[in-house]
Amino acid sequence: MSAGQLDTLGQEGLLSLYPERTRISVGMATCGLATGAQAVYDRLSQEIERTGCDVVLSKTGCLGFCQKEPIIDLFIPGKPRLTFVEMSPESAVEFIGAIAAGRVPTDGLLCRHDQELLLDDVFRDYCSEGEELTGVPLYTDVPFFAKQMKIALRNCGLVDPGSIEEYVARSGYSALHTVLSGTSPAELIEEVKLSGLRGRGGGGFPTGLKWEFTRRTEAEDRFIVCNADEGDPGAYMDRSILEGDPHSVIEGMIIGGYAIGASTGFIYCRTEYPLAIQRLEVALEQARLHGFLGDDIFGSGFSFDIRIREGSGAFVCGEETSLMHSIEGVSPEPGNRPPFPSESGLWEKPTNINNVETWSNIPPIALKGGKWYSAIGTEKSKGTKVFSLVGKVTNTGLVEVPMGITLREIIYDIGGGIPDDREFKAVQTGGPSGGCIPASLLDLPVDYERLAEAGSIMGSGGMVVMDEDTCIVDIAKYFLEFTNDESCGKCTSCRDGSDLMLAILTRITSGEGRPEDIDFLLELGEAVMDASQCGLGQTLPNPVLSTIKYFRDEYSAHIERAECPAHVCKPLIVYRIDPEACTGCTLCARNCSMSAIRGEPRKLHVIDTGRCTKCGVCYDVCKFNAVILE
Amino acid sequence: MSRTPEEIVRASLEKHGSGREAVMEILTDVNRELGCIPEEAIIATASAVGVSNAEIYSVVSFYSFFSIKPRGRHIVRLCSTISCVMSGSAEVLEAVRDDLGIREGETTSDGRITLETTSCIGLCDQAPAMLVNDEPHTRLTPETARAIIAGLE
Ligand SMILES: Cc1cc2nc3c(=O)[nH]c(=O)nc-3n(C[C@H](O)[C@H](O)[C@H](O)COP(=O)(O)O)c2cc1C
């Protein structure tokens, strides 16, 4: 591969991204497919054939607005790119009908894009004069997208993940080319250090520094690893990057391999992500075919290849020492650190592990420079971070925002707030190692330091939004169940400590909490943190400690008054019928599977609390709001 | 004719070699083809790689996607993670349990379906979610989950 050949490849990609005919692309990441994108694609294809209109149909990844899948994009030469949401096979018929009749479809139209930003700061303008479609909102004015800044997700939802040409057309592999035509590994590492990029897998360790440590260790060979074991509850950005833009991760790894002096890279991907694995396999094959992987890449003398390894459903394998054991084929309990992987990792060779999102940030940094990246974000947290916004929030999806944006902007401006007129209660960040942040801290700027000060962590970027109907003690118990389940059992503190903490939380949520339980949980939490060997045990008390810190009253209500203020903990709630409101319509009695409601037509009904299983059906069916939860 | 566990291990060894690092790949191949990793496969892998059966056994037992017990033709994995719980996965689980007459970790007596719950499968944007074999299903309700499961051969 030469510079000229790279250019030719990019030209081919431009032609397939922006052909001289109308093009439709369908978002076909897992989120799209799960909501019927394949059926939409098939129907579009049939209709194009049937009407004989001149349209190219292609596939892409996820644009991030997963709530609104299936999403498709329309590219008509000379007109703005248009994004359509919530498509169905039926609307696909009308869609093609409109195009065949020379009209612009309007059903499901969300926004228009007048231009596209390429990596090297070049804009591609879509519209010719007079074709602006000004009645349609601009992409950058749609609240969900307005505050986003896409670096890691730069190509997701635009390129076909199965086309290396389209990736190259978006400046792909030009960072690799630039680096291999004259940047020394030391200069490259300096650039990554300058960027301020920190690991996106949870720990937030400075990436450039880690590379330097690994490079510095004397060895004949070194390894690099991409951690794609993404297991944090509520986080799925790595899946989306791998499904939507696998080459960005591959290019990042090749650049990293060169900087570090490694000849082999491994991508450790969880088996729960079959589509990601499949797209990676295709992308790796293409990269080999074009000489981006293999011997003597770009004639530089540097040789490198990447292999995929599959995890098989063990959360702890995301921890780096455990992950390496898994690759080696030994029992994957976490090991001791030090020595750190940078000194002794896979097969005792220096090994550099980074997360998927970390790797996908590398090509832009290598191309545009560390200074460019470090201009984004806050003092100690540079660049952007991808968050998955899930739970009780109006717009769920993947959002990439500059560090320093506030929680309120993410949850309200981008996420559209809390649905069903409910109140915001807390947001859980950082998964089982993180914590719950209350409403009083909604204006907290999001970066590594601020989140840690608030008693949580950045983690891999999951944000689970909770409304007033969520019981905070129940949430803490949920996370403890999770870590208790995933603990490998090697350290007593983690194994038995989580057992004990879970038993106490179970007792509290059953209404049998004791006055000393809160302090006992705090003490136990500290002890487990101190005595555990790997990150799992060291952080598992966080969800409990942070909820006690901010919601101690709610714990007390459970313990002292046997009350669950959110009405979630079944042993602590009773259903009762309000005599004032009950009309005696009998609907509740007829729907009660336990026959626990008695009463004659047009007379007051009564719930027999002895028989009631608190399933809540009566509450749901009553048309007069006469069933009360206490 | 389906292949025996030993045959799968042998074919896998040819692809991945007999180094220790081939263990996960061999086991994944067996698990994918048979739905479980029978004792014969453990023994064959151990002797090919040159480690004890116990060592391979300890690897197999570590991973929730590996099973030594035979499983059903279809594996239904319902996500039991927080965002799915908040969206009603408990009701979905109850409906599926009732319909199949089995609990998590069990297989229907006709060998059709194994029911499991799983940690996060990354479909949180459209909770509650489940994987049926490799295929994702999202925004489940008790009704849609029942219908999907009824449609499995
Ligand atoms: C229990 C546990 C689970 C982890 N899971 C993941 C994971 O799924 N993905 C990931 O990238 N890092 C995970 N990590 C962090 C890794 O150990 C490691 O720090 C990270 O992969 C380094 O990459 P980074 O510097 O780019 O973040 C986990 C850590 C612990 C303690």
Of A293, A270, A265, which is closest to residue A352 (Cα–Cα)?
A: A265
3-state secondary structure A519-545: HHHHHHHHHHHHHCCCHHHHHCCHHHH
Asked, for residue B84, whether it belongs to a domain, the answer is yes
Question: Is the pLDDT score of A563 beyond 80?
Answer: yes
User: Would you call A511 exposed, middle or buried from its count of C-beta atoms within 10 A (0-12, 13-18, 19+)?
Assistant: middle
Token representation of residue A563:
């009350």
Determine the pLDDT at residue A135.
85
B105 at interface of A, judged by CB pairs closer than 8 A: no
Give yes or no: residues B79 and B145 share one domain. yes
Asked if the C-beta of B83 comes within 8 angstroms of chain A's C-beta atoms, the answer is yes
Collapsing DSSP states into helix, strand and coil, what is residue A159?
coil
Taking a C-beta distance cutoff of 8 angstroms, is the pair B16, B25 a contact? Answer: yes
Q: Are residues B83 and B133 in the same domain?
A: yes
User: What is the reported pLDDT for A121?
Assistant: 65
Q: Looking at residue A201, what DSSP letter applies?
A: T
Q: In this complex, is the C-beta atom of B1 within 8 Å of any C-beta atom belonging to chain A?
A: no
> What integer is the mean pLDDT of B111-118?
94
- How near does any CA of chain A get to the CA of B24, in Å? 6
Shortest Cα–Cα distance, A231 to chain B (Å): 6
Q: What number is the average pLDDT over the span A405-434?
A: 95
Extract the runs of DSSP E, i.e. beta strands, from chain B: 74-79, 113-118, 130-132, 135-137
Q: Which of A310, A163, A364 is nearest to A244 (CA)?
A: A163
Is B40 within a domain? yes
**Helix (H/G/I), strand (E/B), else coil: A117:** strand
Residue A497 parent element (H or E) = helix A492-509
Specify the pLDDT at position A13.
95
Q: How many domains does chain B have?
A: 2
- Say which range, A52-56, A274-278, A481-485, has the weakest mean pLDDT: A481-485
Determine the Cα–Cα distance for residues A2 and A16; give it in Å rounded to an integer: 21
Whole-number Å distance, alpha carbon A198 to ligand 1 midpoint, is: 12
Indicate the average pLDDT of chain B.
93
Residue B59 — very low, low, confident or very high, per pLDDT cuts 50/70/90?
Answer: very high
Residues B32 and B52 in one domain: yes
Asked whether residue B94 is domain-assigned, the answer is yes
Amino acid at A185: P
Q: Hey, which of A326-330, A407-411, B82-86 has the most confident mean pLDDT?
A: A407-411
The pLDDT value recorded for residue A124 is 81
Task: Break chain B down into helix, strand, coil percent, rounded to 5.
Answer: 50, 10, 35
Q: B137 with B82, same domain?
A: yes
> Is the same domain home to B124 and B83?
yes
Q: Is residue B58 within a helix (H) or strand (E), and if so which, with residue range?
A: helix B53-62
What's the average model confidence in pLDDT over A478-484? 92
* Chain A from 583 to 622: CB within 8 A of any B CB: none
> Are the C-beta atoms of residues B66 and B39 closer than 8 Å to each other?
no
Nearest to B81 among A233, A332, A388 (CB): A233
- Banded pLDDT at A120 (limits 50, 70, 90): low
Is the domain of B92 the same as that of B144?
yes
**pLDDT surpasses 90 at A402:** yes
Q: Supply the range of the domain harboring residue B123.
A: 74-150
Do B142 and B79 belong to one domain?
yes
Centre a 10 Å sphere on the Cβ of residue A518 and count the other Cβ atoms it contains: 19
**Confidence at residue A486, expressed as pLDDT on a 0 to 100 scale:** 87
Kindly give the distance from the C-alpha atom of residue A341 to the centroid of ligand 1, in angstroms, as a whole number.
Answer: 13
Cross-sheet strand order for the sheet of A424-429: A397-402, A384-391, A462-467, A424-429, A435-438
CB A201 less than 6 A from any atom of ligand 1: yes
CB A549 within 8 A of CB A508: no
Residue A462: what residue type? G
Q: Do A312 and B137 touch (CB under 8 A)?
A: no
Structure-token pair, residue B31: 């698990």
Among candidate residues B35, B62, B89, the one where a domain is terminated: B62
Summarised one tens digit per residue, pLDDT across range B15-49 is 999 999 999 999 999 999 998 999 999 999 999 99
Which residue's CA is minimally distant from atom 12 of ligand 1?
A201
Average pLDDT over residues A505-523: 96
Q: Average pLDDT, stretch A342-360?
A: 97
Tens of pLDDT, residues A26-43 = 999 999 999 999 999 999
Residue A409 carries which DSSP code?
A: I
Q: What are the backbone angles phi and psi of residue A129, rounded to the nearest 5°?
A: -60, 140
From A356, A372, A376, select the one nearest A364 (Cα to Cα): A372
Count the neighbouring beta carbons within 10 Å of the beta carbon of residue A466: 24
Mean residue pLDDT across chain A = 94
**In this predicted structure, what is the pLDDT of residue B134?**
85
Instruction: State the average pLDDT over residues A388-406.
Output: 96
Count how many Cα atoms sit within 13 Å of the Cα of residue A625 in the half-sphere of its side chain.
0
Beta strands in B2-129 (DSSP E): 74-79, 113-118
d(Cα A254, Cα A259) in Å, to the nearest integer? 9
Confidence tier at A578 by pLDDT (50, 70, 90): very high
Whole-angstrom distance, CA of residue A355 vs CA of residue A361: 10
ipTM of predicted assembly, 2 dp: 0.92
Chain B residue numbers touching A67 (CB-CB < 8 A): 125-126
Cβ of A329 within 8 Å of Cβ of B49? The answer is: yes
Q: In degrees rounded to 5, what are phi and psi of residue A593?
A: -75, -15
Question: In what helix (H) or strand (E) does residue A284 lie, and over which residues does it extend?
Answer: helix A274-289
Final residue before a domain boundary, out of B23, B41, B62 = B62
Whether A252 contacts A176, CB under 8 Å: no
**CB A117, CB A145: distance < 8 Å:** no
User: What is the C-alpha separation between B77 and A286, in angstroms, rounded?
Assistant: 33
Check whether residue B81 and residue B122 sit in a common domain: yes
B67 within a domain of the structure (yes/no): no
| DSSP secondary structure, A342-378, as one string | TTS-GGGS-EEEEEHHHHHHHHHHHHH-HHHHHTSB-
Cα–Cα distance measured from residue A517 to residue A503, given in angstroms and rounded to the nearest whole number: 11
Q: Within this chain, do residues B88 and B143 fall inside the same structural domain, yes or no?
A: yes
pLDDT (0 to 100) of residue A313:
87
Q: What is the CATH number for B86?
A: 3.40.30.10
Asked if residue A335 has pLDDT above 90, the reply is no
Mean pLDDT within A593-600:
91
pLDDT interval class at A216 (50, 70, 90) = very high
More confident residue, A328 or A115: A328
- The preferred substitution site among A223, A225, A253, A319 for testing ligand 1, maximizing ligand atoms within 8 Å of CB, is A319
Domain assignment present for B68? no
Structure-model confidence comparison of residues A133 and A573, the more confident one: A573
Does the pLDDT value for residue B1 go beyond 60? no
Domain end among B14, B37, B62: B62
- The CA dihedral of A196, A197, A199, A200, to the nearest 10 degrees, is 130
Tell whether A5 lies on the interface with B, counting CB pairs under 8 A. Answer: no
Mark which residues 119-148 of B lie under 8 Å from A by CB: 119-127, 129, 131, 134, 136-139
Read off the pTM.
0.94
The H or E element that residue A391 is part of is strand A384-391
B115, B91: one domain: yes
- Which domains does chain A show, CATH number per domain? 6-144 (3.40.30.10), 164-373 (3.40.50.11540), 384-467 (3.10.20.600), 472-560 (1.20.1440.230), 574-629 (3.30.70.20)
How far apart are the C-alpha atoms of A473 and A351, rounded to whole Å? 40
| Mean pLDDT of the A315-342 span | 92
Q: Give domain status of residue B140, yes or no.
A: yes
Q: Residue A33 C-alpha to ligand 1 middle, in angstroms? A: 28
CA dihedral A381, A387, A393, A396 (to 10 degrees): 150
Q: For position B108, what pLDDT does the model report?
A: 95
Q: Which atom of ligand 1 is nearest to the CA of A486?
A: 1
pLDDT band per the 50, 70, 90 thresholds, residue A620: confident
Any domain includes B30: yes
Ligand 1 center to B83 CA (angstroms): 21
Q: Specify the pLDDT at position A119.
A: 63
Closest CA to A59 of A84, A82, A33, A34: A33
Same domain as B15, residue B55: yes
Same structural domain for residues B80 and B146?
A: yes
Structure tokens at A457: 């962590």
User: Which residue among A313, A397, A475 sits closest to B63, beta carbon to beta carbon?
Assistant: A313
The reply to whether B69 falls in a domain is: no
| Residue A437 in tokens | 């942040």
**Per-residue model confidence as pLDDT tens digits over B63-73:** 999 999 999 99
Mean pLDDT of A162-174: 96
Query: Considering only CB atoms, which chain B residues are within 8 Å of A271?
Result: 28, 65
- Structural contact between residues A484 and A503, judged by C-beta atoms closer than 8 angstroms: no
For chain B, give the percent of residues with pLDDT over 70.
99
Count other Cβ atoms within 10 Å, centred on residue A438. Answer: 18
